[in-house]
Structure 1
Amino acid sequence: MGRRQVTDALERLAFAAELLEDERARTWARAAWAIRNLEGDVEEMRESGALAKTRGVGKGVLGVIDEVLEGKKPGALMEMEAKLPEGLFAVRRVKGLGPKKVKQLWSELTITSLGELEYACRENRLVDLKGFGRKTQQKVLEQIERIRETEGLLRRDQAEAVLGPVLDALEEVYPQVEPAGEVRRGLELVRELVVLVEGEALVEGEALVEGEALVEGEALAEAQAIVDAARPPELKVQVALADAETFGARLVWLSSADAHRAALSLRAEARGMRFDAGGLWMASPDELAPLGTPEEDDVYRALGLVPTAPERREEGVPLVEAGRAVTPLVTIDDLRGALHNHTVASDGSHSLEEMRDAAAARGLEYLHISEHSHSAFYARGLDAERLAEQLRAIEALNAGAPECVLLSGVESDILAEGELDYDEDVLARLDVVIASVHRRHGQDAAQMTARMVAAAKNRMTDVVGHPTGRLLLGRAPSAFDVDAFFDACAESGCAVELNANPHRLDLNETHLAMAKERGLLVSIAADAHATRELDNLAHGVSIARRAGLTAEDVLNARSLPELRRWVSARRSAK
């Protein structure tokens, strides 16, 4: 149990308390915010006493946290839930429906579930409801449809939060443990959580291979029991078992799309072998003899192939014959710096020094600071004077050859007509300028295309940030002509961003592949608002690998001198 489970419980308490007009609603809400933005492990901070000193975490909140960390449902939550229809907690998932509106729907229309809400919308019962109307009703319907479509899906960060304790528990018992399935393949959203462990040899009568299904035996049941004890009760994690000699083949099978499995199976058949859920076998008329494949790469070498990375085991990605030269995919170690990061000056949680030190601890050579611009008042955006103050602070911190150099910048809002948020003479003083859309995502396709093209063609736009504006499981991408936008980027020489925040992962792998085809550089950006969020880079690298990107395709895989030369050359070329 950790941060996610604690935050979920506190948010659920805050919601229930507000519906019941319980005075503790704000207490729970403040505590949820505090825990979500904590640096460090919640359990460790509770044991050390640091959690009790955290602002917003009082005695009552600590009691709830203790219950969650012990694997219990908080008593206060059970008490409140008993007074409310369970379906109201599903209704709150509709974007735009806060506790007050959910309570209004409950009290005025007796709506207690998503199904009832959908029916009420289709009967136009929200049209005349105070604070709603026809447009809101349509948006609610669209949100319900989106919830149905994404039911059971987890973002990468959510999946990792679930798997972390599971992997830790298994590693205490088994010599080899690996995440498998969709997580290993690097999908942006996952539905199934799978872990492969090295256990006893699978012998007849204990676990028989039957196609893709394993008949569970005692050894497998024991592993599953460990997993079930470590996972949250509402989420399932499947465990699979392999012996040391078949571990690699089993991992490939579990971590490949159906099309990739089929291609490998055909390749094996052509070579007198068999590849299936149980491993790689040498086939003969009388029996199947298992081939030793302790590592994933052993499967490909046995089949005369260049190993395919898990992120590329997808339909449409061809197998590569052994001996052919293949440029390695980008790795986290290729990244020399991180662009697009925030501090307390705008909506971040840490200072310039703290962010720089965290970047240095991760081996980064440079860290780019890009606070929100002055139009982003909701995020404490910087006006020209405050931006100049930060520039002076960065220059002072860079004196004396620090381990990690701070780069000045800004995340300038792209305004309604595509213009940026500062005069050119202000932007010209900055090392790297990010241009991003933060408002008016709902413009029609023609307007949004013109807006994005204009921003891309601005000589001061070095990188276009989170171009489609999507939020995974939250907001659909903006409608615009991506081809026209990429053409404008190619013309101006600006880079495009792969925003590695797991809520965004924008651009997606399809758009990244299109950008690569056009020769556009991609910035894998942490968009860190706290030191721990620099680890977002790993999410971005996974998506970049799925798109086939190499270090040559990535802007921040360049050294600091190379990055400076690139910015200077593209700005002076206009």
Structure 2
Amino acid sequence: MREIPVEIDPGAELFVEMGLPDPAGLSKEEWERVVHAYWQVDADGRVGLTRARFEANRLCDWLAPACTRVAIVGSVRRRRARVKDIELLVEPKAPGARVDLFTMDTALTLDGQLEAAIAHGWLRRGNKYGGRMKTLLIESRVTSQLGDLVDWLKVDLFIVIPPAQWGSLMAIRTGPADYSKWLVTKRSQGGICPDSMRFHDGALWRSNGSGEEIVPTPDEDQLYQALGLAWTNPWDRVAGRNVMLQ
């Protein structure tokens, strides 16, 4: 189990977004108390961005060998100062995926990696454990002279399974919620999705005269282009504020 040393810089969000004091004006002991409070889970069940990002990256590293793509989404990707849930998006490797010209990888699977972490004791199953979405709890330890902190942080794991597309789910799961709702709502109903298209099962679909077809969105850029929007930084996403492409 890797532990987070209290000396890790909590990040500029402490001073800019949370209004905490500049460490230059504090004694070492005063600053350690500030940092210790920052690492703690607050009354709303939220933790500081740096701690959430650390654990998100740790789980990403663990799952990466069993996936073609792994990404942090949700409030961590949006750089919120306090985070309630860690959210990840993964695209599992196909069973028996080829490692190289001569080798097939038959051992590493997403479920296998999750079960191994659960067996090691630093990951637990949550109340949902389905094929497209799993909730987990990850053990998070912080060491400090003021006392160790041990918490179980909630993780939402979203899994790209066809017909779902990476770009569509990346944008939807990054949020925030009102932005995602605006993104998938038809323009005639106050959203930004063209009326000739719709989101369903994690993919963008387009009417083609005889039925529907999936609009390929292997990344966010292509999703935004399909919707006629300019791509926006995750931390700047506000419903109704995107720039339309010319």
TM-score range, shorter chain: 0.5 to 0.7
Change (3 A) 1:170 1:263: same
Distance in 2 (alpha carbons) for counterparts of 1:152 and 1:184:
18
SS at match of 1:176: strand
- Specify which structure has the higher proportion of helix: 1
Residues 192 and 237 in structure 1, CA contact (< 8 A), matched pair in contact too: yes
Equivalent residues in 2 for 1:395-474, closer than 5 Å = none
Question: Match for residue 139 of structure 2?
Answer: 232
Residues 173 and 180 in structure 2, CA contact (< 8 A), matched pair in contact too: no
1:264 and 2:234 correspond = no
1:2 and 2:2 correspond = yes
Q: Report the alpha carbon displacement of residue 181 of structure 1 after superposing the two structures with TM.
A: 1.0
Q: Report the alpha carbon displacement of residue 171 of structure 1 after superposing the two structures with TM.
A: 1.2
Distance in 1 (alpha carbons) for counterparts of 2:8 and 2:183:
45
The one-letter code matched in structure 2 to 1:272 is S
Equivalent residues in 2 for 1:411-560, closer than 5 Å = none
Equivalent residues in 2 for 1:367-378, closer than 5 Å = none
1:151 and 2:61 correspond = no
Distance in 2 (alpha carbons) for counterparts of 1:173 and 1:190:
26
Question: Match for residue 320 of structure 1?
Answer: 243
SS at match of 1:195: strand
Instruction: Please give the per-residue CA displacement for 1:144-173, whole angstroms capped at 9, x wherever unaligned.
Output: xxx997331010111022112201111122
Question: Match for residue 398 of structure 1?
Answer: none
Change (3 A) 1:273 1:222: farther
Question: Match for residue 519 of structure 1?
Answer: none
Question: Match for residue 552 of structure 1?
Answer: none
Change (3 A) 1:220 1:282: farther
Change (3 A) 1:161 1:148: closer
Change (3 A) 1:284 1:200: farther
Instruction: Please give the per-residue CA displacement for 1:344-385, whole angstroms capped at 9, x wherever unaligned.
Output: xxxxxxxxxxxxxxxxxxxxxxxxxxxxxxxxxxxxxxxxxx
TM-score (norm 1): 0.27
1:251 and 2:145 correspond = no
Which of 217, 223, 227 aligns to 1:299? It is 223
Q: Report the alpha carbon displacement of residue 285 of structure 1 after superposing the two structures with TM.
A: 8.3
Change (3 A) 1:260 1:159: same
Q: Report the alpha carbon displacement of residue 37 of structure 1 after superposing the two structures with TM.
A: 3.7
Residues 227 and 237 in structure 1, CA contact (< 8 A), matched pair in contact too: no
Paired residues in the alignment total 171
Higher relative contact order (Cα pairs below 8 Å, separated by 6+ residues): 2
Equivalent residues in 2 for 1:12-161, closer than 5 Å = 36-37=6-7, 150-161=43-54
Residues 67 and 110 in structure 2, CA contact (< 8 A), matched pair in contact too: no
Distance in 1 (alpha carbons) for counterparts of 2:156 and 2:117:
8
Change (3 A) 1:148 1:163: closer
Which of 185, 189, 192 aligns to 2:85? It is 192
Distance in 1 (alpha carbons) for counterparts of 2:116 and 2:159:
13
Instruction: Please give the per-residue CA displacement for 1:169-224, whole angstroms capped at 9, x wherever unaligned.
Output: 111221211011111111111111111111268xxxxxxxxxxxxxxxxx875565
SS at match of 1:322: coil
Q: Report the alpha carbon displacement of residue 239 of structure 1 after superposing the two structures with TM.
A: 1.3
The one-letter code matched in structure 2 to 1:251 is M
SS at match of 2:199: strand
Q: Report the alpha carbon displacement of residue 271 of structure 1 after superposing the two structures with TM.
A: 3.6
Distance in 1 (alpha carbons) for counterparts of 2:117 and 2:57:
11
Structure 1 regions of 5+ residues with no counterpart?
Answer: 5-34, 40-94, 96-146, 202-218, 324-574
Residues 3 and 36 in structure 1, CA contact (< 8 A), matched pair in contact too: no
Q: Report the alpha carbon displacement of residue 258 of structure 1 after superposing the two structures with TM.
A: 2.2
- Specify which structure has the higher proportion of strand: 2
Structure ID, larger Rg: 1
Instruction: Please give the per-residue CA displacement for 1:242-295, whole angstroms capped at 9, x wherever unaligned.
Output: 159711111101001222122222246534101356121114687542211111
Distance in 2 (alpha carbons) for counterparts of 1:290 and 1:164:
31
Residues 227 and 239 in structure 1, CA contact (< 8 A), matched pair in contact too: no
Q: Report the alpha carbon displacement of residue 304 of structure 1 after superposing the two structures with TM.
A: 1.0
TM-score (norm 2): 0.58
Distance in 2 (alpha carbons) for counterparts of 1:257 and 1:195:
14
Instruction: Please give the per-residue CA displacement for 1:449-508, whole angstroms capped at 9, x wherever unaligned.
Output: xxxxxxxxxxxxxxxxxxxxxxxxxxxxxxxxxxxxxxxxxxxxxxxxxxxxxxxxxxxx
Which of 56, 60, 71 aligns to 1:167? It is 60
Change (3 A) 1:220 1:288: farther
Aligned-residue sequence identity (percent) comes to: 24
The one-letter code matched in structure 1 to 2:237 is R
